[in-house]
Copies of this chain bind each other. A is one copy, B any other.
């Protein structure tokens, strides 16, 4: 009997695949390194191996699987199932859906990883019961997934939700995209690390100088959080500033979307109060009272499973809407 779903979370460093029943409950999971450095074919073999492994573990065949959802970095084309460009995978124009369909005989739906994560949180995590929400992941970059009326809003080119390149200070620091003052150039983990390195380089009086043991590359969010917890003012200021810009960017989104809920994921949010306190003050300051007062702000609830549960939600698709 069909009635099961596969979710594949395809990342730059690891592939996490799971099989779930028709309620979305995970029955088996398998993680493998992506091995992007060994080429496209190797990555595909690794995906196939994770699928083979989870199906074998629960004794299911391809005939039992309704659909497979794949969450992948992009840009990509969800309708045609093509990954246009995924620098972390070294991929360009890979028709991943067709490749996996040919290899497995299972129907595939491709989704952008941030969108998949948003769906995962909406159906299985912090956003259950919420129809309109914005999911934002703050890590090396800032990505987003916009859910309107319980569905991902994709835009014309599957480009919607690229909130990381919203410009919030045109005189701000250079972003990887070539512009200045993008949201992610001011408030991402990369921006936070850069500020820590710059402070040490400028010779500011900060614990970071000792903590990094002479290696500027060791200065990351974790180290800056440690310095802040030890009372280091430079580190505290870095978190304040990042929180300020994070709140400002979120406020822009809240004013534009007036959403029910904002779900925050990604490594930077793990800094807890260090980032949440200045972020909330700034978000409140810059957003409309009515929108802010009704806004639910939640931490992502699925942790490392956000991606794979999102991929399962992608696979389940209409099934979820009928039940939810």
Query: Which residues of A pack against B, CB within 8 Å?
Result: 75, 132, 146, 148, 153-163, 165-171, 179, 248, 251-253, 255-260, 285-286, 288, 290-291, 294
Contacts and interface: CB of A to CB of B under 8 A. Distances in A.
Given A155-B291, A167-B168, A169-B171, A161 B252 contact: no
A163 B157 CA distance: 22
A285 B181 CA distance: 13
A258 B288 contact: no
A167 B291 contact: no
Contact of A160 (B75, B158, B159, B257): B257
Contact of A256 (B179, B251, B253, B258): B253
A245 to B, nearest CB: 8
Given A156-B291, A159-B255, A170 B169 contact: yes
B168 A291 contact: no
Contacts of A154: 258
B294 A156 contact: yes
B256 A156 contact: no
A140 B132 CA distance: 31
Given A167-B248, A169-B171, A179-B285, A155 B257 contact: yes
> Which of A146, A163, A256 lies at the interface centre, i.e. has the most chain B CB atoms within 10 A of its CB?
A256
Contacts of A253: 256
Contacts of A285: 179
Contacts of A288: 159, 162, 165
B132 A156 contact: yes
Contacts of A255: 159, 162-163, 165-166
A166 B252 contact: yes
A322 to B, nearest CB: 19
A134 B169 CA distance: 23
A152 B108 CA distance: 32
Contacts of A153: 148, 257
B248 A170 contact: yes
Contacts of A294: 156-157
